[in-house]
Amino acid sequence: MTVVRTARDTTAHISGVAALYGSGAFRTAHYIDVQRGQQKLQEGSRMVQKAIELLDAVHLPGEPERRARKGLGILRSAVDWLEDSDQFDHAHKVLDDAGRRVRTTFGCNLKFEPDEGYSQTCPVALAHTRVGCSTGFIIEESACSICGEDPEDCDHISGQLYGDEVCGRLITRADLMEVSLVSRPRQPDARIQSVSITRDELESELGPEFTFGMPVSCDKCLRECNGMVEML
């Protein structure tokens, strides 16, 4: 993605911010992304496993399922942070396996709201469509996250580690220009969280037994995975 920089009135895309600072900064940022993805993979896996172990804890009604679904969300995030790394395929498999365990243990339904209808909000299902969001904006004011100075005037490099802190650009005032769908958002968690499913689609899939408002089970995790879908 093209990034154009003209001092203070910078036009930038979040997915390309690292390009402003050269390939070295990008490599450092990618290494940090992989580390964070590994941490999320471990955290999500532990959470799902612990949730299954809590099933017999009668004093915690509903808590195992809540934890399990939170764990799936963390595992989806791990997949996104590990994209384009040599651990992506492993994270994909861990997510699919966890999704299957949660589906067979707790069951899964499409989300339904009377005024909006049905939607797919499952992090496992949504993770298989590789698309995210990128904002385009004109930066009016920003500050270095390390020293608080204008990034034009300090020596810190975005994406580099300084002690235990990763340097970033804190945008304090900006004019939003647009939001784009991109294949690789620079912020890995900038992803679509819900996809609407029309009444016609459900009637076609479920036949005459479908009644608007009825619970609709999602069985995606019970079927063989056909791989990730690159949308862009």
- Provide the pLDDT for residue 23: 43
Output the CA–CA distances (angstroms, integers) from residue 50 to 54, 103, 173, 221, in the order listed. 6, 16, 42, 20
Token duo for residue 219? 């069985």
DSSP letter, residue 55: G
Distance CA(15)–CA(18), nearest Å, equals 8
Highest mean pLDDT among 14-18, 50-54, 60-64, 72-76 belongs to: 72-76
- Provide the pLDDT for residue 95: 98
- Provide the pLDDT for residue 180: 94
210-223: average pLDDT: 96
53-61: average pLDDT: 78
Residue 105: is it exposed, middle or buried by C-beta count within 10 angstroms (0-12/13-18/19+)?
middle
- Provide the pLDDT for residue 29: 66
pTM over 0.75: yes
192-216: average pLDDT: 96
Token duo for residue 3? 């990034």
Are 185 and 133 contacting, i.e. CB atoms less than 8 angstroms apart?
yes
- Provide the pLDDT for residue 148: 93
Where do we find the tokens 């479908």?
A: 210
CB neighbours of residue 170 within 10 Å: 12
**Closest of 227, 224, 231, 124 to residue 180, by C-alpha:** 231
DSSP letter, residue 4: B
- Provide the pLDDT for residue 114: 95
For residue range 17-56, what is the model confidence (pLDDT) as tens digits? 333 334 444 456 678 889 999 999 999 999 999 999 988 7
**Closest of 81, 80, 73 to residue 98, by C-alpha:** 73
Are 94 and 194 contacting, i.e. CB atoms less than 8 angstroms apart?
no
Q: pLDDT higher for 15 or 71?
A: 71
Q: pLDDT higher for 231 or 81?
A: 81
Four-point Cα dihedral 154, 157, 158, 163, nearest 10:
-100
Distance CA(103)–CA(59), nearest Å, equals 22
Average the pLDDT over each of 17-21, 27-31, 115-119, 156-160 and give the range with the smallest value.
17-21
Q: Which amino acid is at 120?
A: Q
pLDDT at residue 190 is higher than 90: yes
For residue range 91-102, what is the model confidence (pLDDT) as tens digits? 999 999 999 999
- Mean pLDDT over all residues of the chain? 86
Q: pLDDT higher for 197 or 152?
A: 197
For residue range 171-184, what is the model confidence (pLDDT) as tens digits? 899 999 999 999 99
- Provide the pLDDT for residue 15: 35
